[in-house]
Structure 1
Amino acid sequence: MTIICPLCHTDLQQEKTRWVCHNQHSFDVARQGYVNLLPVQHKNSKSPGDTAEAVQARREFLQAGFYQPLKDNLMNWLAELQAQSILDMGCGEGFYTSGMPAVATRIIGVDIAKTAVQIAARRYAQITWLIASAAKLPIASESLDVVTSFFSPLPRDEMARVLKPNGYLLIATPAPGHLYEMRAALFEQVNPHQPDKFIETLMPDFQLIRQDVLTYELTLEQTALRHLIAMTPYAWKAKAEKRQQLEQADLLKTSASFQIYLFQKQG
């Protein structure tokens, strides 16, 4: 698994305090331990990715264990693949990525949000953390056993490029009824999630070889509920008065429901 320069696409060599390529493009290792491989010209905004508020809310919610059953399930799937190298795209603050060293030897976490990667790098030093764009991965072609994308974008061409022949793509996304009760409190009309909609978009590069649904009940007190709202797109899609009303609830019972897919690269 080779990390490459985002400017000239030659191999990066890791030194003590920097990574440098053959053409002497140099990238410093931040004091938290991550490397920023997102050139200015690849940014869509001054601070791309999730806001600091959303990152912090997600960290608090996930650390409280509400999605631990999903994490455990995903790590079981990865363990069965016996992978050596895994790239976690859209890794955020590293909740899911942090379980991967137990099932593979080399892990890279990539996210475009600087705040998220900073938090991840502080907590999990055994993982290589990169600020980079999933649309332009600084990873050599055909160098990875597995790519994971949990609630993150799915750039088909880039995923296919960096995976070895017959490599695997593991995806987790909301199932149709995910957080239905919460969404019903925020919106006049609740449209089911459509997890299958991207399966066709991944063909012919990937073949679906396994899928499952994980569903369980959640009981959320006010603080956890506020964190959950803030970490989702519902925070800005819902009307302000609806969000405020739900945030004032003492308790909400809802269902977490996740669709898990395992694809294999064709060729």
Structure 2
Amino acid sequence: MNITLPAIECLACPIDGLPLVLSEMGALRCPKNHSYDRAKQGYFNLLPVQFKPSKDPGDSKAMIEARTRVLNSGIFDPVCSELTDLIQTHWPSQRQRQYSAPAVLVDAGCGDGYYTSRLAREFTASTEINVIGVDISKWAIMAAARTDKSVCWLVANNKRLPVKQGSAGVITSLFGFATWQPWGELQFPGQTVITVDASSHHLLELRALIYDEVQQHDAPDDKDALDAGYEKVQEVPLKYPVSRPAVQMLTDILTMTPHGKRANQQQLHSNHDFSIAALTIDVTIRVYRKCG
């Protein structure tokens, strides 16, 4: 495993928040002797049983496999490119990072690590930014760790990110659930959260096939972020078509998202050979800075 030392130095025990140190045996240990072994795939499980909302939380193995196929097709690459530019623009300055060094990028809810790995390749080679990928699904982190040994992969709960206070220069949350209050307590002024959320026309053509009535939902509002002490500093709408997506891709999108479970099953069955001319990708990317 080729995890960078600066990333390890930013980790904190999920139970007591004390610093974690990598032992000679390769386990992470805090001063109170809470210990976390490294899995054979190269990741650390920092999700104690008392913080697990269910026996097997997060996305299933089938959902992760479907997501991997969809993301590897490249249809979300423009999202990744825009995200990369925004991180470079809004990475906290040296003055803002005086509280803690080194600072890391934490991808909260990283899934199979598709975006995380690309961000790591972009930043590790050209900057001092190190990357940590966190997901509550063990299947997601196992898949991520198999494909990229340079990132520090963690099974953990977004509500209790296992990093030291002030060490997360940027937290990214892509199509996930931002936990604003815990992150607001974790980050220092000047540090940022960047979210990517589905907008009203996201996957519209596919949703029209599987729902009797399509409801258009806007991206979440800013209230929770503002209440947690953040200010919105930039918002970027991104919308583009994907031409003639394959049936397998559409099926995988249903599998990897809640739409497959919510769909009218009779409608879904009748459209099992569906095809569409284009599929709309419609997202909103927002940048929030911790005030203070």
- Band of TM-score, shorter chain: over 0.9
Q: How does 1:14-53 map to 2 (within 5 A)?
A: 14-15=22-23, 16-53=25-62
Does 2:222 match 1:199?
yes
1:158 and 2:166 are equivalent in the alignment: no
Equivalent of residue 231 in structure 1, options 256, 270, 291: 256
Distance in 1, Cα, partners of 2:181 & 2:256: 28
Compute the RMSD of aligned alpha carbons.
1.5
Give the fraction of aligned pairs with identical amino acids, expressed as a percent. 28
Q: Which digits, 9 at most, give the CA deviation of each residue in 1:211-251, with x for residues without a partner?
A: 11111111211111111111111010012222233331244
For 2:16 and 2:186, the matched residues in 1 are separated by: 16
Give the Cα–Cα distance (whole angstroms) in 1 for the partners of residues 216 and 277 of structure 2: 19
Hey, what's the Cα distance between the residues in 2 that align with 1:48 and 1:198?
26
Shift of 1:252: 4.7
Report if the CA contact (8 A) 2:91-2:169 is conserved.
Answer: no
Query: Could you tell me which of 175, 189, 202 is aligned with 2:199?
Result: 175
Unaligned runs of 5+ in 1: none
Instruction: Write the distance in 2 (CA, Å) between the matches of 1:179 and 1:120.
Output: 25
Match of 2:168 in 1: 144
After superposition, what is the alpha-carbon deviation per residue over 1:122-159, rounded to whole angstroms, capped at 9, x for unaligned?
A: 11111111100011221222221111100111111111
What TM-score, normalized to structure 2?
0.87
Q: CA deviation at 1:253?
A: 1.9
Verify the 8 A CA contact 1:225 1:252 in the aligned structure 2.
no
Letter in 2 for 1:254: L
- Which structure carries more strand by proportion? 1
Equivalent position amino acid for 1:24 in 2: N
Cα deviation digits, residues 190-229 of structure 1 (max 9, x gap):
111221x331121141111111111111121111111111
Q: Distance in 2 between matches of 1:257 and 1:48?
A: 28
> 1-side partners of 2:247 and 2:269: how far apart?
12
Whole-angstrom distance in 2 between the partners of 1:45 and 1:125: 28
Residue type of the alignment partner of 1:188: D
| Equivalent of residue 107 in structure 2, options 88, 92, 106 | 88
Shift >3 Å, 4+ stretches: none
| 1:177 partner SS | coil
Question: Counterpart of 2:20?
Answer: 12
Residue 213 of structure 2 corresponds to residue 213 of structure 1: no
Q: Aligned equivalents of 1:247 and 1:110: distance in 2?
A: 34
Instruction: State the TM-score, normalized to the length of structure 1.
Output: 0.95
Contact map agreement 2:134 2:158 (CA 8 A) in 1: yes
Match in the other structure for 1:132 = 156
